[in-house]
Amino acid sequence: MANAEHLDVLNQGAAAWSRWRRDSPGLVPDLSDADLRHTPLEGVDLAGANMTGCALTHGDLVEARLAGAGLDAADLQEAVLLRADLSEASLRAARMQQANLRGARMIDADVQEAALRDADLSGADLTGADLSDAFMFNVSLRAAVLPEATLLRANLYESVLASADLKNVDASGANMRDTDLTEVDLRGAVLNGADLKGAKMANADLRRAELVGADLSGADLTGANLSQCNLRKAILAGATLVGSDMSDTSLREANLSGADLSAADLSNASLVAARLGGATFRDCRAHGVSLWAAEGVPAVQERLRISPEGTPLIAVDDLSLALFVQLMCQSAAVQAVVDEIKARIVLICGRYDDRRYADLDDVRAAVHAAGLQPVVFDLRGQIEEDTAAAFATLGAASRVVVFDVSDTGRPPEALVASLREMRAPTLPVVMRGRGSEWREMRDWRAAGADILPIEEYADPAGLAKVVGAALPTE
């Protein structure tokens, strides 16, 4: 309940209130639960006052001084707070629907769980304010200042934040669906798990922002700066990223299905395990892009520049070629390394559990002694299409292929074509008492395949000896 004496002084007018406050330094006015709907408060000094639960609906609080005031659960619906000072005020669970807070000063204010639907905070200063769990549907925050503010789980559905300053805000878990974030400054912001579906973010600055697991489906990020962002596991399905800067950005495991990345800068971006099905990559910068384990086939891949800025143009029409061609063309030294590696691989295939893999130490040493490089390929379990493709690729780049048929009855069906057409000499080996040469190998040899006679070994040292004898001497 409000203090009757304090309320009586306030009702005497602004001049009487000002004299009383001046004559009572240190006294905290208690106006809690008071009905102030018809009390003129324009320009009144209410700094530090206890106004918890006050009724201020339609109140005139233009330029009111409310710094440090306690307004928890106050009713400020449709109140006019133009240029009011609410710095460090507590507005927890306050009802502020349709309030006019244009140009208000709300630095470090506590606005948690407040209801601000349809409120106007254009140009307001909310630096460091805490708006966690606030209901801000259709709020105008155009050109507002909110650096370091907290917007955890805030509901900003269909709100307007165009040209706002949101540097270093924490809006994790916020609902920003269909929000207007055009040209907003979100540098260093944390938006992990935020719902940004359909958000308008053209020309937004999101450098170094954290958007892990954020949902940006259908968002418009035309011309946005996403350099050095963390978009790991983010959903960007159907998003427009035309002309965006995504250099040095992590898109690991992100969903880019159907997204348009035309003219985007993907220099040194990581798309490891990203989903790219139906996406458009046209006129992109792709120097240093990483695509390991990326899934899906893009709808368009055209004119992808893989040469660094300021160097002669080198372009490809396939993202999967970008890194490889870049390495091949980067310098004569790199080309020499690639050629050397291709000429030095000895592919060693078989059913190798941990114990048998350890037994290959002598074989590996023999390969190294010949100036070559061993690559061990374990063929236990079901051989899927990807495994068969990797085997074919490595086999084509190998100097010699060693195939251990121990504990196998016949060639794995998925590898038949690769083994039959292998260009490198293939040495079949078998541990004594653990199998024999496949009939198919004899047929392939008779048909002209470069398959050497099978060699039997009794122990790891014997295997190293037969492999060493089959290696080229120069």
- pLDDT tens, the chain, 474 aa long: 889 999 989 988 888 898 999 988 889 999 999 999 988 888 789 999 999 999 999 999 999 999 999 999 999 999 999 999 999 999 999 999 999 999 999 999 999 999 999 999 999 999 999 999 999 999 999 999 999 999 999 999 999 999 999 999 999 999 999 999 999 999 999 999 999 999 999 999 999 999 999 999 999 999 999 999 999 999 999 999 999 999 999 999 999 999 999 999 999 999 999 999 999 999 999 988 998 889 999 999 988 888 777 766 677 888 887 776 666 665 555 556 556 666 678 888 888 777 777 788 898 889 888 888 888 887 777 777 777 777 787 777 788 889 898 888 777 777 777 777 777 888 999 999 888 888 888 888 888 888 889 999 999 999 999 999 988 865
The one-letter amino acid at 230: N
Q: CATH 3.40.50.2300 spans which residues of the chain?
A: 338-470
Assess if CATH 2.160.20 describes domain 1-158. yes
What predicted TM-score, i.e. pTM, was given to this entire model?
Answer: 0.74
Contact 96/114 with Cβ under 8 angstroms? yes
**Cβ density class 187-207: b for 16+ within 10 Å, e for less:** bbbbbbbbbbbbbbbbbbbbb
pLDDT of residue 347: 86
Contact 103/123 with Cβ under 8 angstroms? yes
Tokens matching residue 142: 């155009």
- pLDDT tens, position by position, 36-55: 998 888 878 999 999 999 99
Q: CATH 2.160.20 spans which residues of the chain?
A: 1-158
Q: Which pairing describes strands 304-305 and 315-316: parallel, antiparallel, or unpaired?
A: antiparallel
- pLDDT tens, position by position, 79-114: 999 999 999 999 999 999 999 999 999 999 999 999
Contact 301/283 with Cβ under 8 angstroms? no
CATH tag for 338-470 (out of 3.30.420.40, 3.90.650.10, 3.50.50.60, 3.40.50.2300): 3.40.50.2300
Tokens matching residue 128: 């460091």
